[in-house]
Copies of this chain bind each other. A is one copy, B any other.
């Protein structure tokens, strides 16, 4: 249940309502939009009579939220969540453009990429230091030295850094170097990890699992929100379907307008994983923007054929440079900027 207070409700009235529901065993979560305060009930308290509550001074309305996700829902917070990372605001009219290699492989590879994508117009640098790989015999990432290189690349370019964290025990370490903590698709329902990033003081980029429903994704975000971290970015990165002969995954472009309707959180597209084939990445990037994504995250590499991971889906630096103006044209066609 959520309780919507009058825009003229006093702090005293708000506190009274909070005290009332907390006395019945509920926890409360407060959302303040433009002039309006919404009190969300969490946990499992005694049943509350909405009519009686509606009579309390300052209460405008109460609403049962039947969706399982509450803090993530538009009903709870009608306005878009926006927040600023470095000098870039995400969730607003301007699209975020995140680019960089799948894995950090070397100082030279990373810095060359970082300068090139910055030059081309990227607003974030992505790169993995801890890599979830299907095979234990594949390259597992550089670890902390990779994180240090990312921090160095940020110093050199000013681009905030997005990088993956794979286990609760390493959240503190990764948070030292990263500007955005990425949760990979395979860990979308690693609940201990979600709780850990929920307690962290860095924004989180949460990728949709390969067979996660829209609702599963929102419930995973709910874990993070419920642990106190309100800065969550959702990412559609392709799902598993019956057809993977010509593409690695199926980009669920429907998810973008559906998520934008259901939640106030920013939603970005990952065309690299979603199609998995370099020459189709530009078309899928544009489709994501056309459908309303708040940004894109694109794998780029100075020499994709030699990449330690995901080379087949990484753009070359010139390809990325060529793509940015197309993203810009597309953004303008849907009334946005880059």
Binding site for B on A (CB under 8 A): 42-44, 68, 70, 132-137, 166-169, 186-187, 189-193, 209-211, 213-216, 219, 222-223, 226-227, 239-247, 249-254, 256-258, 261-262, 274-275, 277, 279-280, 283-284, 286-292, 326, 329-330, 332-334
Contact = CB atoms under 8 A, between A and B. Distances in A.
Contact of A254 (B167, B219, B251, B292): B251
B283 A287 contact: no
B291 A284 contact: yes
Contact of A213 (B190, B215, B243): B243
A243 B218 CA distance: 14
A338 B136 CA distance: 35
A273 to B, nearest CB: 11
A275 B254 contact: yes
The count of identical subunits is: 4
A153 B132 CA distance: 37
A173 B3 CA distance: 41
A211 B213 contact: no
Nearest to A192: B167
12 contacts: A68-B137, A70-B137, A135-B222, A136-B227, A169-B192, A246-B258, A250-B250, A254-B284, A261-B279, A290-B291, A290-B330, A326-B333
A135 B290 contact: no
A191 B132 contact: yes
A242 B245 contact: no
Given A186-B190, A192-B166, A284-B291, A136 B222 contact: yes
Given A243-B239, A254-B247, A254-B250, A44 B211 contact: no
Contacts of A223: 136
Contacts of A261: 279-280
